[in-house]
Amino acid sequence: MTFNKKLLDIVACPACKGKLVLHEVPHETADGDAEKAAKQVLVCRFDRLEYPIDEGIPVLLESEARVLSLEELEQVKQHD
Q: Mean pLDDT for the chain?
A: 88
Helix (H, G, I), strand (E, B) or coil at 50: strand
- The per-residue pLDDT for 29 is 63
Residue 33 has pLDDT above 60, yes or no: no
Average pLDDT score over residue span 53-61: 93
In the chain the domains, ranked by start, together with CATH numbers, are 5-79 (2.20.25.10)
DSSP type of residue 48: T
The pTM of the full predicted model, rounded to 2 decimals, is 0.83
What kind and span of H or E run contains 44? strand 38-44
Alpha-carbon span 13 to 75, nearest angstrom:
19
Task: Tell me the HSE value of 80 on the side-chain side, using a 13 A CA sphere.
Answer: 13
Cα separations in angstroms, 32 against 3, 52, 66, 67, 79: 24, 21, 23, 25, 23
